Amino acid sequence: NAGVTQTPKFRILKIGQSMTLQCTQDMNHNYMYWYRQDPGMGLKLIYYSVGAGITDKGEVPNGYNVSRSTTEDFPLRLELAAPSQTSVYFCASSYGGETQYFGPGTRLLVL
Amino acid sequence: DQQVKQNSPSLSVQEGRISILNCDYTNSMFDYFLWYKKYPAEGPTFLISISSIKDKNEDGRFTVFLNKSAKHLSLHIVPSQPGDSAVYFCAARGMDSSYKLIFGSGTRLLVRP
């Protein structure tokens, strides 16, 4: 089991560019989550999904979009990147209310 | 409005001694509290949790205490080891079916040899 994998590990974007952060899990988890972590801060929830085809906003959804067409994948889309989106992004998955397992993160720098 | 607070950004302890990490919360509608450990350039990893109906949970060197009346929880690590040096996040889970976690800002623990 690879667990939760995220690509890319690191990316530099110019202001106004767009990109997709990939997240895949091989644990057959129904719940998946996207968090961002800013320096010195805790993780804040961007979007989450309780199953394929079902997504909902978290605490900080503005500037992001998600889709969940399969159980395994939960990509996060950034449209019109802004410097405020410079952060480390973590994807997590869980089986219902069980422990959330996190990926290694994607470090994004918007210049 | 921070619902989960970790007021100590850092903590330094001697190897073999006890490490105590603290966390406060403001919302009574949390049903589970969790501690995650994070090394640099890695994702958080689950350490230990406690249900809101309990006041203590122990797993090896790690014990979490919950004081509901004070809305306070703490993580005790005994004895502390250099490999425990990491950032520790406290998280609280809401009672709705999304199982969303609210994280504190983290405490960086340094265990000195």
pLDDT tens readout for residues B51-87: 999 999 999 999 999 999 999 999 999 999 999 999 9
Q: What is the pLDDT of residue B29?
A: 87
Strand runs (DSSP E) across chain A, as ranges?
A: 4-7, 10-13, 19-25, 31-37, 43-51, 54-57, 64-66, 76-78, 87-94, 101-102, 106-110
Mutate which of B95, B98, B107 to test chain A, going by most A C-beta atoms within 10 A? Answer: B98
Full DSSP string of A69-81: SSSSB--EEE-S-
Q: A45-84 pLDDT, tens per residue?
A: 999 999 999 999 999 999 999 999 999 999 999 989 999 9
CB distance A27 to A95 below 8 Å: yes
Q: Chain A contact for B32, CB < 8 A?
A: yes
Tell me if A35 sits within 8 A of A44, measured CB to CB.
yes
A43/B44 touch (CB, cutoff 8 Å), yes or no? yes
Contact A35, A99 (CB under 8 A): no
Is the bond preceding B79 in cis, omega lying within 30 degrees of 0?
Answer: yes
Using an 8 Å Cβ cutoff, are B42 and A101 in contact?
A: no
Listed residue (A41, A61, A99) closest to B32, CA to CA: A99
Minimal Cα distance from A43: which residue of B? Answer: B103
What average pLDDT does range B26-47 have in this prediction? Answer: 93
pLDDT in tens, A20-52: 999 999 999 999 999 999 988 889 999 999 999
Which pLDDT score, from 0 to 100, does residue B84 have? 98
User: Would you call B43 and A43 a contact, using CB atoms and an 8 Å cutoff?
Assistant: no
- Rounded Cα distance between B43 and B37, Å, is 9
Q: Spell out the residues 6+ positions from residue A101 whose beta carbon is closer than 8 angstroms to its own.
A: A3, A4, A25, A27, A29, A92, A93, A94, B46
- Interface contact flag, A58 B100, Cβ < 8 Å: yes
- Residue B64 near residue B73, CB atoms below 8 Å: yes
